[in-house]
């Protein structure tokens, strides 16, 4: 049966990079490698401009009934003066909440062809292949009480609450254990159990679950050390799992190890295996409309979609190989340009990936 994919291009470079990802999906469809029905919808500033709402009900409904959502990016200066509830980013948060996307998977993989684009020494990052699993719907971002209050003395106090239930911790840890089992079987759980009770519980649950995954080696690391180890010796990690706040920070740090934000895909999954797939970068208003954005993160997000929501891991691997071939050919968008390579635009990269896929058949 056909799988339904909702395409939400969004704002800024979103439509440019998503167009290339759609080219890849359509090429695979024509070759009979996948059976998908593509639907389009509006989100973010693009939706606000038409409907006065960054997440119209019809977009959320279409997302809920899709097997997977492919998102470009949302936001831009045009919508910054709007009240928070109407801003494009609300569309993204509404989709995460509306779909129950609790597990955020962010792989950081360094293509050997791009080693010169990393800010770290080649020997530190060469061969890097790690996966950060971040809990996405709990923690201090959602905990109550929160807010800014005025004390009787007149002084103001800001409050946020770090909170996780045992079942929320168990749910994300199981995702991470399962992923580690299919990779190099090493899982590092990141917490701050020496000072935060909430993460003391996290560690306790991780240790309890470890008994059910004897093939996975579980280790624990405090978040401050994890940040340091990520830039000191990142290759020690296979899968890292952590809460929403720590994951937010560590995953951006890990992203930069690979050279360009334009290379990194992500997946956000719910309990039913539905997922939203998007590049980790934003709408890059500074380069929007110029045809120079790197579409590879979005195309690799399609590969993640095929692997995690559409049950087509071999086709996912073919996309990843095609990306690697195009990098071998020396084609580069400006963000990953290094001396001796050939600078091209967004569409040329997409076309070259489609051509590499065709050769692969
Ligand atoms: P950004 O990720 O959009 O851009 C940061 C820098 O990286 C810019 O210099 C940009 O040109 C470059 N860049 C990003 N993607 C690129 C690509 N594919 N190819 C080449 N270069 C690329 O972050 P920002 O500038 O902080 O935010 C811009 C807007 O995006 C804001 O409105 C922000 O709220 C929004 N945003 C959206 C998402 C999302 O939709 N998931 C995520 C982050 C930021």
Cis peptide preceding 145, ω within 30 of 0:
yes
Quote the DSSP letter at residue 257: T
Instruction: Examine the residue annotation and report whether 178 is marked as an active-site residue of this protein.
Output: no
Number of domains forming the structure of the chain: 2
Residue ranges around ligand 1 (CB below 6 Å): 13, 17, 73-76, 89, 92, 261-262, 278, 281-287, 293-294, 297, 333, 335
- Whether residue 149 is found in the same domain as residue 224: yes
Q: Active-site residue 335, yes or no?
A: no
Identified catalytic residue from 224, 311, 328, 360: 224
Query: What range does the domain containing 336 cover?
Result: 1-102+303-361
Look at residues 341, 321, 324 and name the one whose alpha carbon lies nearest to residue 332: 341
Based on the residue annotation, tell me whether 248 is a catalytic residue of this protein: yes
Residue range 320-339, pLDDT digits in tens: 999 999 999 999 999 999 88
- Helix, coil or strand: residue 242: strand
Among the candidates 227, 246, 269, a domain finishes at 269
Question: How many Å apart are CA 282 and CA 95, to the nearest integer?
Answer: 16
Q: Which residues pair with 108 in a beta bridge?
A: 130
> β-strand 331-332 against 342-343: which pairing, if any?
parallel
> What spacing in Å lies between the alpha carbon of 78 and ligand 1's midpoint?
14
- Same structural domain for residues 310 and 262? no
Task: For ligand 1, atom 43, name the residue with the nearest CA.
Answer: 282
Confidence of residue 261 (pLDDT cuts 50, 70, 90): confident
Residue 212 in any domain: the answer is yes
Residues contacting 341, CB < 8 A, separation 6+: 330, 331, 332
Q: Is the pLDDT of residue 77 over 70?
A: yes
In a domain, 286, yes or no: no
Q: Who wins on pLDDT, 39 or 117?
A: 39
Write out pLDDT tens, residues 1-30.
899 999 999 999 999 999 999 999 999 999
Average pLDDT over residues 21-40: 97
Residue 67 has pLDDT above 90, yes or no: yes
pLDDT per residue as tens digits for the range 188-231: 999 999 999 999 999 999 999 999 999 999 999 999 999 999 99
How far apart CA 294 and CA 298 sit, in angstroms, is: 9
**Beta strand pairing call for 36-41 and 3-10:** parallel
CA-closest residue to ligand 1 atom 42: 282
pTM assigned to the model: 0.92
* 284 lies in some domain: no
Nearest residue to 176 via CA among 254, 266, 228, 106: 106
Q: What is the pLDDT of residue 117?
A: 82
Q: How far away, in angstroms, is 283 Cα from ligand 1 center?
A: 4
Write the CA distances from 333 to 98, 152, 324, 326, integer angstroms: 35, 57, 14, 11
138 and 265, same structural domain? yes
The answer on 118 and 42 residing in a single domain is no
Catalytic member of 49, 53, 129, 248: 248
Among 8-22, 98-112, 115-129, 173-187, the minimum mean pLDDT is found in 115-129
Give the pLDDT confidence score for residue 273 in this predicted structure.
85
Do the domain assignments include residue 285?
A: no
- The reported pLDDT for the residue numbered 245 is 96
Residue 357 in contact with residue 25, Cβ under 8 Å?
A: no
Assess if residue 24 is contained within a domain: yes
Same domain, 146 and 223: yes
Mean pLDDT on 242-260:
90
Instruction: Please give the distance, rounded to the nearest whole angstrom, from the Cα atom of residue 204 to the centre of ligand 1.
Output: 37
Per residue in 226-242, pLDDT (tens digit) is: 999 999 999 999 999 99
Q: Which residues, at least 6 apart from 39, have a Cβ–Cβ distance to it below 8 Å?
A: 4, 5, 6, 7, 62, 66
The answer to whether residue 289 sits within a structural domain is no
Q: Are residues 70 and 15 in the same domain?
A: yes
Q: What does the buried/exposed string (b/e) look like for 173-199 if buried means 16 or more CB atoms within 10 Å of the residue's CB?
A: bbbbbebbeeeeebbbbbbbbeeeebb
Confidence grade of residue 361 (pLDDT, cut at 50, 70, 90) = low
Distance 263 CA to ligand 1 centre (A): 12
CA-to-CA distance for 48 and 74, rounded, in angstroms? 11
Tell me the CA–centroid distance for residue 255 and ligand 1, in Å: 13
3 state DSSP class of 250: helix
- Given the residues 141, 178, 222, 351, the one annotated as active site: 141
Q: The domain that contains 148 carries what CATH number?
A: 3.40.718.10
Q: Are 213 and 333 in the same domain?
A: no
φ/ψ (deg, to 5) at 185: 60, 35
- Ligand 1 atom, smallest distance to 44 CA: 40
In a shared domain, residues 109 and 94: no
- pLDDT at position 352: 98
Residue 281 resides in a domain: no
* DSSP class of 310: S
User: Of the residues 134, 256, 283, which should be mutated to test ligand 1's pocket, given the most ligand atoms within 8 Å of the CB?
Assistant: 283
By mean pLDDT, which of 182-186, 250-254, 264-268 is the weakest? 250-254
The answer as to whether 17 is a domain residue is yes
Q: Are residues 37 and 83 in the same domain?
A: yes
Residue nearest to atom 4 of ligand 1 (CA): 284
236 and 210 in a common domain? yes
Please check whether residues 110 and 246 belong to one and the same domain. yes
Residue 228 sits in the same domain as residue 158: yes
Residue at which a domain ends, from 269, 293, 313: 269
The H-or-E segment that residue 138 falls in is none
């Amino acid at each position: 049966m056909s799988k339904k994919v909702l395409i939400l291009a969004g704002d800024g470079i979103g439509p440019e990079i998503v167009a290339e990802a759609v080219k890849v999906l359509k090429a695979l469809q024509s070759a009979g490698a996948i059976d998908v029905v593509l639907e389009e919808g509006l989100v973010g500033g693009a939706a606000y401009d038409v409907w006065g709402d960054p997440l119209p009900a019809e977009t959320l409904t279409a997302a809920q009934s899709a097997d997977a959502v492919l998102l470009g990016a949302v936001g831009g200066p045009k919508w910054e003066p709007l009240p928070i509830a109407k801003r494009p980013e609300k569309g993204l948060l509404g989709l995460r909440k509306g779909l129950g996307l609790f597990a955020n998977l962010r792989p950081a993989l360094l293509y050997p062809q791009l080693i010169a684009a990393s800010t770290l020494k080649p020997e530190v990052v060469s061969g890097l292949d790690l996966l950060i699993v971040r809990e996405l719907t709990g923690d201090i971002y959602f905990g109550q009480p929160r807010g800014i209050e005025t004390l009787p003395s007149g002084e103001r106090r800001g409050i946020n609450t770090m909170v996780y239930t045992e079942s929320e911790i168990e749910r994300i840890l199981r995702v991470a254990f399962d992923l580690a089992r299919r990779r190099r079987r090493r899982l590092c759980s990141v917490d701050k159990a020496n000072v935060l009770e909430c993460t003391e519980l996290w560690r306790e649950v991780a240790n309890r679950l470890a008994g059910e995954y004897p093939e996975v080696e579980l280790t624990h690391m405090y978040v401050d050390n994890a940040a340091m180890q990520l830039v000191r010796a990142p290759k020690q990690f296979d899968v890292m799992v952590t809460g929403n706040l720590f994951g937010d920070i560590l995953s951006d740090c890990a992203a930069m190890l690979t050279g360009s934000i334009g290379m990194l895909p992500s997946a956000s999954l719910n309990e039913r295996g539905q997922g939203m797939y998007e590049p980790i970068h934003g709408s890059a208003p500074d380069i929007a409309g110029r045809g120079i954005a790197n579409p590879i993160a979005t195309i690799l997000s399609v590969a993640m979609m095929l692997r995690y929501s559409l049950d087509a891991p071999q086709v996912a691997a073919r996309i990843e190989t095609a990306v690697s071939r195009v990098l071998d050919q020396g084609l580069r968008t400006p963000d990953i340009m290094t001396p001796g390579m050939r600078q091209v635009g967004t569409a040329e990269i997409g076309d070259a990936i489609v051509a590499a896929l065709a050769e692969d058949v």
